[in-house]
């Protein structure tokens, strides 16, 4: 859908599904054009709804995993901050402050470098003792970070799938909307509910003033200005 929010697209296709079901339930000799297009419209609405549901689930999972990843990094940052000062004081590598790293992955790389350096000082009780504290925290943080990364990738894939479903639904919706307009008229509520948020149809299928057959309960609806209907 052009230049409109996901929320409006959800509502737009939801209303298209309602109109399609209503047309299929109409008497056999009524709304014939809509009856012919309704199955295809319903299929596209269902496909988009399934893709949108998958995105919502992926968003929930990604939020959860990112939160858990940040929680796992917190104690590691504290130990790392204390250890980096001690390591430098003992003549070891000077590691940057946790606040200097651009990403969690950059921070984890530095911590793993520190772990590797400490692991070579097996004759130093201080290093061995620090490793017993540091290593489990690293393993936990790495595990949570990988899970967060996987969840973010899954979210991106779900969003791409929804975009594809939206693209597939678009031409079907335009054709269905034109049939609704021809059946009920350009001022009918059933037609106005299917318009794009920013009046894409002003230069396409909403540019003339045919009134068609009024839909029940939807007459005398004022035609919106060229800017399109406001977002709901």
Give pLDDT tens digits for 16-50. 999 999 999 999 999 999 999 999 999 999 999 99
Give pLDDT tens digits for 215-225. 333 333 333 43
Whether 40 maps to a domain, the answer reads yes
| Number of structural domains found in the chain | 1
What is the model's pLDDT at position 184? 96
Return d(Cα 75, Cα 33) in angstroms, integer. Answer: 64
- Please measure the distance between the N-terminal and C-terminal CA atoms of the chain and give it in whole angstroms: 15
Whether 69 maps to a domain, the answer reads yes
Return d(Cα 38, Cα 44) in angstroms, integer. Answer: 10
Whether 128 maps to a domain, the answer reads yes
The boundaries of the domain holding residue 45 are 6-203
Closest by Cα among 36, 17, 37, 35 to 27: 35
Give pLDDT tens digits for 136-184. 999 999 999 999 999 999 999 999 999 999 999 999 999 999 999 999 9
Closest by Cα among 145, 139, 224, 144 to 189: 224
What is the model's pLDDT at position 199? 47
Return d(Cα 126, Cα 90) in angstroms, integer. Answer: 10
């Amino acid at each position: 859908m052009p230049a409109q929010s996901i929320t409006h697209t959800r509502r737009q296709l939801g209303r298209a599904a309602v109109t399609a079901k209503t047309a299929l339930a109409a008497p056999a000799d009524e709304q014939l054009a809509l009856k012919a297009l309704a199955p295809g419209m319903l299929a596209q609405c269902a496909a988009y709804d399934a893709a949108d549901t998958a995105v919502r689930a992926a968003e929930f999972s990604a939020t959860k995993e990112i939160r858990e990843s940040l929680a796992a990094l917190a104690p590691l940052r504290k130990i790392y901050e204390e250890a980096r000062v001690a390591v430098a004081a003992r003549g070891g590598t000077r590691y940057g402050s946790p606040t200097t790293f651009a990403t969690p992955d950059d921070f984890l790389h530095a911590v793993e470098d520190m772990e590797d350096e400490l692991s070579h000082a097996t004759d130093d009780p201080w290093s061995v003792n620090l490793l017993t504290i540091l290593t489990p925290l690293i393993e936990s943080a790495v595990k949570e970070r990988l899970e967060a990364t996987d969840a973010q990738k899954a979210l991106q894939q779900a969003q791409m799938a929804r975009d594809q479903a939206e693209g597939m639904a678009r031409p079907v919706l335009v054709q269905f909307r034109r049939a609704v307009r021809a059946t009920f008229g350009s001022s009918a509520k059933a037609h106005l509910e299917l318009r794009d948020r920013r009046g894409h149809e002003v230069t396409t299928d909403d540019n003339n003033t045919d009134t068609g057959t009024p839909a029940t309960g939807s007459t005398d609806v004022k035609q919106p200005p060229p800017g399109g209907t406001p977002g709901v």
